[in-house]
Structure 1
Amino acid sequence: MKHKAVKELLRFVLAVFLSVSAVLAVSIFMNGMYLLGIPDPEDVQSVVAEYPGVTDEKKEFTDREHVEQAVKLTGFLRYALFEEPVSGGSPMITITYVLDDGRTVSVSADRETVWWKGRPRAIKDREMFINLAEGIFFLEEVSRP
Structure 2
Amino acid sequence: MKSGNRIKHTFRLPPDISRQLAEFAIRKRATQASIVEAAIASFLSPDGSERMEAAVTRRLDRLTKQNERLEFQIEVTNEALALFVRFWLTANPPMPDLAMAAAQAQGKERYEGFVQALARKLETGARFSEGIRKA
Q: Name the TM-score, length of structure 1 as normaliser.
A: 0.27
Greater RCO, CA 8 A, separation 6+: 1
Q: Name the TM-score, length of structure 2 as normaliser.
A: 0.28
